Each structure stands twice: as C-alpha cells, then as structure tokens.
Amino acid sequence: MAKKSINMVKYIIRRILVMIPMLFAVLTITFFLSHAMAINPLQSKMTGWDINIYYDEMERLGLNEPIYVQYLFYLRDFFTGNWGESYSGQFQGWLVNDILITVLPRTLELMIIPIIITPIIAVKLGATSAKNRKKRKDVLIRSIAVVGAGFPSFWIAIILRFFFGRVLYEATFFEFDLEIYNSNSVTLNPSFPDIIPTTLDVFGLVLFLFLMIGGFYLIYRGNKLRKRKQTQKWKYLLFLLLSGALVCIGALVCILGIVPIIMYINTYGTKFRLIDSIIFNEPIYFWDTLAHLLLPSISMTFISLAGITRLTRSSMLEVLEQDYIRTARAKGVPEKEIINNHALRNALIPTSNLIIGGVASALIGSLFIERIFGYSGYGGVFFTAIINGNIPLINGCVMVATIILLSSNLITDVLYTIIDPRIIYT
Amino acid sequence: MIKTEEEIALNTKIKDKPGILSLLKFYLIPGWRVPEFNEQEYEIEKIRSKRRFFRHLLTLLTIIGSLVILSFIFMGIFTPWLTKFPVQDLVPPSIPGIPYELPSPQHPLGTTNNGYDVLARMLWGTRTSLFMAVIPTGIAVGGGLVLGVISAYFGGKVDYVFMRGVDLIYSIPTLVIVLILTQTFGLNMMDILIIYGCFAIAGNLRFMRSLVLQIREMLYVKAAKTGGALKFKVMFSHIFPNALPPMILTFFGQMAITMLGIAAIAFLGLTTSQIPNWGQDIAWGNIYEDNVLAFLIPGICTALFAIAALLIGDGLRDAIDPRLKI
C-alpha cells in the first residue's frame, strides 16, 4: 500500500512537470493567434481621439514594438505574475489577474452545481435504463437521452428563460412576481470587503492550504501508526509516543495553515458569493444569489447529461453480460447489490473520462449561457474580450481554461486508479 | 478464392456428394446446412450476412432518422421551388417588412429580424446546415484516417510528434480557438467550417491510431510484411480497409456534434450574416419574444437534424458492431 502511494505521488509530480512545456506551448500559440486578430485592440475606446493620444496609448501599452519583442516582454511579465492590462470593455484599465480573480469564482459557482449533479443523475439514469433493457423505462430514458443530445444547450437555456420569464408570468395573470427575482443584486450593497487580493496573496493562500492539508495528512498517519499491532511492549510504547508526536505536529501545522487562511478570508472574502454571504451574514443576498443561479445551472446540466447517460448505458449493458455477474446472481447476491457494486463500478471506467470532460464543456458552455442570462462571469468577459480584440485578457482567459483542462485530465487519470485498482501507472 | 461453376461441379463429382436436387432443401428450408458444399456455402453466407446486416439496420428508429435526413436534403436541394423569397430578401442589407410580425397568409410562420420570413429562412438555412454538418466532419474523419494510419504504423518519432500535437489541441478548448480565429480570417462561413474540421482531426487521429495499433499485430499484416510488401502497400491496402468501418461509424455521431458546435458559433454572431443560418435565427429570435416561432422553429430544426444523425449512427453501430463504444 505504502509503495503504491509513493508511486502515485511520483506519477502526479511527473505529470505536473509535463504540464509546464504544454502550458508554454499554449501560451505561445494563443499569443501569436491573438495578435493575428484583425481588430485594432484600441478600436472600441478611441472614438473622438486625437491621433497623438492614440500614438501615446499605443506606446504606453507597448503595441508599437516588433512582435517578438512584445512576446519576450509578455513572457517576462507572465512569469512574474503580471498578466497585462485590459484594454477595453467593462473592466477597462484593470489588471488581468484582478479581473480573473473577481470573475472566475462566479463562473465556478455556476459550474459546481452542474458538475456535481449531472454525473449523479446521468449515471443513475444510464444504470436504470440498462437494468430494464427493452422495457418502457428503457425506451423513455433512451428517447430523453437522444433528444437531450440533439437540442443545442443555448436553445434549452432560451426556452427556460422564456418559460419562467414570460409564460409563467402571463399564465398566472402577472402574479408570478417574487420580489427576489426583480431585485438586482448590484443595488443590494452587501457588506463584503471589496478589496481585490494581489497575486502574492493568492499564492500565499494556496501555500497555506497545502500546509493545512499536510497537517491533516500528518494527523492521519499518526493515527494509523498508533493502531499498528506490536508484540513487544517497549515497541508499542515507542510507537504510541511517535504517533502522539506526529498528531501534535500535525495539529500545529494545521493551525499554522488555518490562521492565515481565516485572516485572508476576513480581509478579502472568498469572492464566492454564496460562501461570502454565509460568512458575512447576508441572508437576503444569499437567497438572491441562489435565485439568480438557478436557471443557468439547470440549463448547464443539460450540456453533458445526455452523453454520459448514453455511454453509461452502453458500457453497463456490456458489463451485465459478463461471467462474474452471472456468478454473482447464481450465488444469490441481491439484484440491487449486483447493479451497484459489481456492475456499476466496472461500467464507470469508460464513463469517468466523460464526467471530467464535463468540466471543459461546462466552461465553454458558460460562453453561451452567461450571455443568455446576462450573468457577468468568465464566459461573458471572455466573449467581450474576443469581440473587442482585448489581447491580454484573451491570453489570460485561455491560460486559465488550459490550466483547468490539464488539471482535470490529471484528476481523471488519478481517479482511474481509485475506480479500477488494476490500473497502475509506472 | 471464388471458383467457377465448372470447378465446383468437378469438386462435387470427385467427392461424390448429393446432386443439385437435394440442394433445394438448402434454398427452401432456413437453417439447413450442407457442410461439404464449402464454396457455395461461402457465397450464400456472404449474401446472408448482407441480409442480416440490412435486417439489423432496418429498425424503426433508423428508418425515421434516414427519412428526416432525406427530407432535409430534399428541402436543401429544392429550396428555390419551395419558397417565393430569394436569398437577397432574407439577409441584412434589405429590410422587407415589419420585424417580429405574427403569422399571416404572406408569412406562414411570421417574420423575424428586419421582417425576414421565418419559413423562407428556415428552408434556405437547410442548405447551410447540410454544409455545416458534412464539410467539417468530412475533413475531420478523412484527416484522422490518413494521419492515424501514418502515425500508428511508423511509430517512433512520427508518432511522438503527432501525439504531442493531439495533446496540445486537447489542452485548449477548441471552440475558443475557433472563436479567436474567426476574428483573424473574417467571418466567412467556409473558412470557419474548414478550421473547425482541422481542429476536430485530433480526436479521430487518436481513435484511428488505437485501431491501427490493434490491427498491426494481426497475422495477415505480419504475413504481408514477411512476404516483402512495401510499407505503403501494407499501410493502405492491408490495414486501412480493416480500420475503415469503425471510423465510418463515427461519422454520423460527429455530424451532429459539429452541427451543434457551428450553430453555437453562429448564435454568438461570429459567422457571416450574408447566409441564412439557423444559429443566427435563434440569436435574432430570442431578443424580442413577440413572434415566438422566430426562435422555436430554427431550434427545433437544428435538433431534428442532429437527432436524426444520431439515430442513424446508433442504428449503423448496432448493425455492424454492437460492442463498439462511440
């Protein structure tokens, strides 16, 4: 067991090291692609400008330099934590880091519900459909899956908005008019801290988070050490002492990690509005945020629901015909246990790839769904950046998406070993 | 392999087997076998397997799917006969009437932005959608076939380069790169289709590579190699035909996905508005909701097309190889 876990840690470190050249390549490609865009980056804000102001601005942003010089400067700035300045749009003049820190939590909040709920519903649907093959339930679920795969997600979002925004409103004779739906969250003025943390702060937060997790891990190891069986008494005492020391050190490290995190949250907030409104005690704001999250989340669950259901069904059907399932049935294992323990775990191996792929599709889906519901998150900011030719913001957004994609791929590969212990990476 | 009738007759004479009359059983009674008649049975098995394939293929859902696709193709070809509106009356510079008008005898499904007829735009958009579905998928599947065979068969450095390229494309969200490239190449529809197809090669390349790696270990490939066949010959006349059917199966499934992807790009307004296009119809229709049909109809059409393609793909998979996971 211990040997294997060391292998896993080594594997993860190696994968992270492989990620670095990949990120570098993506950075290079997006840099040159975004500079090849046929839009003047200052186009949207230079109406009524004197030509000299225009030249000064170009000089200030470094757009007059040759492209390779710009590239080298950008690389230097990128690795020192300054991702450039937004040229135009809603966040004109902000640093890209600040924009991403304020905007990403909002989209993650939107994504987290679909990412958790979609696989649960889809796997459940696929399993039930495979269990009652060629019965009424199966036909129903399959038809829902095919229809769900066919309809574009943005169209479903429009239909939802149309239904709740207009049909319900008119059908109830204009009485479906809760106060919470009308109140615009901007006017509520919550008592959150409005300061944006610097990059160093966020880096420190991540460091302390790791410290905290390390502390918990130490406590866990210490506990395990105590439970080890010993024949000699002195050895038993030694291990007891060792485990006590480990637990103490772990608790200390944990507190050392937690205190700065609490300080960070008190000064900056987490930027996740749901969590913030609980921490800073704003019940109205909490319900308002939840109400605004509801429809976008529902329409986001539809994006990858159908695909996962179809794949789960087909792999489940294949697994159910295997010999070990027949053996389990012959042994007299209850049907529920066969489906949940014997079959589903084997059927999930090909599906887990798609489940994590749902993260990527949700990130891209936010481009459309945030536009439809007027939700200013990652997707909305990214889309306006592409329209306006806002080069640093485009690069920053693509880099964030790439980091999320690569790390989710890594998580899938690690998850494979948990789902299927036969898979061992060397 | 297949011998002429004389040879077969000669064979039967030598082995002293039952005559032609007793063969009637074979034709009339299903399941009747004469194991000695190898050549003839081989021929009949061939026909029977074809018949079995068609029997599996002709399920209700597959028929419905192919009928829907055929009707869309019919609509795409005969659009000018089906509507009285020319394309010039349906694209931005012209403003023919009142926008978002409710259905009337002149406009059976009402009007959308700038007073364009919804039905006419739907019919003209069929052509665009057919192109949207077929061209990128064709590029993706074709490119994946050729590059996958090359990558898997040569191995070594070539394989390494191809696989790193695939990893690179997999690590960037494709749609995002296409959106950035639309700003580079302009909003021309054909450019977007080709770019999208080129990016979709990656997935097919990986799938094809895994197929070829399996087939490469087969005995007949080794036999061809020991026989001294050229690399090119082994690649494209021994491996390629055997890896073809699973790849072709993926065509219809990918058709649906590409169509939805490009409809999404059109919905964001990043394709040209000079061509009637369902994605753009949805974008126009959802702004004012006076005429609900303005966004309902194009959405339903998109979904019907995609669902039909998916159904055909599923039917083909069930007929050829039910164990394949696509």
The per-residue pLDDT for range B138-186, each reduced to its tens digit, is 999 999 998 988 888 888 899 999 998 998 888 888 888 888 898 888 8
Q: Which of A33, A146, A372 sits opposite B310 (nearest CB)?
A: A146
Checking if the pLDDT of A1 tops 50, the result is no
Range in A2-16, A31-45, A192-206, A282-296 with the lowest mean pLDDT:
A2-16
The per-residue pLDDT for range A217-231, each reduced to its tens digit, is 888 888 888 777 777
| CB atoms near residue B259 (< 10 Å) | 25
Q: Do residues A254 and A215 make contact, with C-beta atoms less than 8 angstroms apart?
A: yes
Provide ipTM, 2 decimals: 0.82
Mean pLDDT value across residues A338-359: 83
Confidence of residue A61 (pLDDT cuts 50, 70, 90): confident
Q: Which of A152, A360, A364 sits opposite B263 (nearest CB)?
A: A152
A405 and B CB contact within 8 Å: yes
**B168 vs A contacts (CB less than 8 Å):** 22, 25-26, 29
Checking if the pLDDT of B10 tops 70, the result is no
| A205 burial via Cβ count (<10 Å: 0-12, 13-18, 19+) | middle
**B180 vs A contacts (CB less than 8 Å):** 30, 33-34, 37, 386, 394, 398
Cα angle value B306/B310/B315 (rounded, 5°): 150
Distance CA B303, CA B131 (A): 16
- Residue A193 makes CB contacts below 8 A (sequence gap 6+) with A266, A267, A268, A269
Query: What pLDDT is recorded for position B125?
Result: 92
Q: Is the dihedral of CA B64, B65, B71, B74 positive or negative?
A: negative
Q: Do residues A3 and A426 make contact, with C-beta atoms less than 8 angstroms apart?
A: no
Confidence of residue B64 (pLDDT cuts 50, 70, 90): very high
Q: Which of A159, A364, A402 sits opposite B175 (nearest CB)?
A: A364
Q: Is the dihedral of CA B183, A54, A92, A26 positive or negative?
A: positive
Q: Which letter, b or e, does each residue of B104-143 get, where b requires 16 or more Cβ atoms within 10 Å of its Cβ?
A: eeebebbbbbbbbbbbbbbbbbbbbbbbbbebbbbbbbeb
Q: Do residues B145 and B236 make contact, with C-beta atoms less than 8 angstroms apart?
A: no
DSSP for residue B1: -
DSSP for residue B107: S
Determine the residue of chain B that is closest to A388 in CA distance: B183
Mean pLDDT value across residues A171-182: 66
**A409 vs B contacts (CB less than 8 Å):** 170-171
- In DSSP terms, B117 is beta-bridged to B111
Query: Is A386 close to B179, i.e. CB distance below 8 A?
Result: yes
Instruction: Give the A:B interface size as CB pairs under 8 Å.
Output: 118
Task: Write phi, then psi, for A393 (nearest 5 degrees).
Answer: -70, -40
- Min CA distance, A297 vs chain B (Å)? 18
In chain A, the percentage of residues whose pLDDT exceeds 70 is 94
In chain A, the percentage of residues whose pLDDT exceeds 90 is 11
Determine the residue of chain A that is closest to B182 in CA distance: A37
B163 and A CB contact within 8 Å: no
Distance CA A5, CA A271 (A): 34
Determine the residue of chain A that is closest to B260 in CA distance: A152
Q: Which of B168, B286, B306 sits opposite A22 (nearest CB)?
A: B168
| CB atoms near residue B90 (< 10 Å) | 23
Task: Write phi, then psi, for B133 (nearest 5 degrees).
Answer: -80, -40
Those of residues 177-236 in A touching chain B at CB distance below 8 A are: none
Distance CA A23, CA A406 (A): 9
Checking if the pLDDT of B234 tops 70, the result is yes
What's the gap between Cα B144 and its chain centre? 14
**B268 vs A contacts (CB less than 8 Å):** 367-368, 371, 383
Question: Which one, of B306, B28, B124, B246, lies nearest residue A146 by Cα?
Answer: B306
A147 and B CB contact within 8 Å: yes
In angstroms, the first-to-last Cα distance of chain B is 34
The per-residue pLDDT for range B16-55, each reduced to its tens digit, is 555 666 667 666 666 666 556 566 677 777 777 777 777 7
Across all residues in chain A, what is the average pLDDT? Answer: 84
Distance CA B22, CA A335 (A): 52
Q: Is residue A85 classed as helix, strand or coil in its secondary structure? A: strand
Query: Is A151 close to B176, i.e. CB distance below 8 A?
Result: no
The residue to which tokens 């789902």 are assigned: A419
Total count of residues recorded for chain B: 326
> Which among A23, A32, A154 is the top mutation candidate for probing chain B, defined by the most B β-carbons within 10 Å of its own β-carbon?
A154
- Min CA distance, B144 vs chain A (Å)? 21
The residue to which tokens 């126009």 are assigned: B284
Confidence of residue A393 (pLDDT cuts 50, 70, 90): very high
Query: What pLDDT is recorded for position A68?
Result: 93
Confidence of residue B7 (pLDDT cuts 50, 70, 90): low
Q: Do residues A93 and A86 make contact, with C-beta atoms less than 8 angstroms apart?
A: yes
Query: Is A36 close to B267, i.e. CB distance below 8 A?
Result: no
Checking if the pLDDT of A184 tops 50, the result is no
The per-residue pLDDT for range A86-123, each reduced to its tens digit, is 888 788 888 898 888 888 888 888 888 888 888 889 99
In chain B, the percentage of residues whose pLDDT exceeds 90 is 28
Confidence of residue A201 (pLDDT cuts 50, 70, 90): confident
Distance CA A266, CA A283 (A): 18
Query: What pLDDT is recorded for position A76?
Result: 92
More confident residue, A124 or A284: A124
Structure-token pair, residue A75:
């690389």
B171 and A CB contact within 8 Å: yes
More confident residue, A186 or A340: A340
Confidence of residue A25 (pLDDT cuts 50, 70, 90): very high
Q: Do residues A82 and A95 make contact, with C-beta atoms less than 8 angstroms apart?
A: yes
Question: Which one, of B318, B323, B325, B245, lies nearest residue B65 by Cα?
Answer: B318
B282 and A CB contact within 8 Å: yes
Query: What pLDDT is recorded for position B33?
Result: 61
Checking if the pLDDT of A3 tops 60, the result is no
Structure-token pair, residue B47:
């026909």
Mean pLDDT value across residues A160-176: 81
- Residue A62 makes CB contacts below 8 A (sequence gap 6+) with A70, A73
Query: Is A37 close to B183, i.e. CB distance below 8 A?
Result: yes
Checking if the pLDDT of B12 tops 60, the result is no
| Element (DSSP H or E) covering residue B258 | helix B240-267
Confidence of residue A147 (pLDDT cuts 50, 70, 90): confident
Question: Which CA distances in Å does B66 have to B72, B126, B315?
Answer: 10, 16, 10
- Min CA distance, A147 vs chain B (Å)? 6
Checking if the pLDDT of A370 tops 70, the result is yes
Helices (H), A152-282: 153-162, 168-171, 179-182, 199-226, 233-268, 273-279
Range in A130-134, B115-119, B308-312 with the lowest mean pLDDT:
A130-134
Query: What pLDDT is recorded for position B130?
Result: 93
Q: Which of A146, A166, A318 sits opposite B289 (nearest CB)?
A: A166
A168 and B CB contact within 8 Å: no
| CB atoms near residue A96 (< 10 Å) | 25
The residue to which tokens 């193709």 are assigned: B73
The per-residue pLDDT for range B86-97, each reduced to its tens digit, is 888 888 888 888
A126 and B CB contact within 8 Å: no
Confidence of residue B81 (pLDDT cuts 50, 70, 90): very high
- In DSSP terms, B111 is beta-bridged to B117
- Most distant CA atoms of chain A, gap in Å: 89
Confidence of residue A350 (pLDDT cuts 50, 70, 90): confident
DSSP for residue A195: P
Query: What pLDDT is recorded for position A182?
Result: 47
Q: Do residues A37 and B184 make contact, with C-beta atoms less than 8 angstroms apart?
A: yes
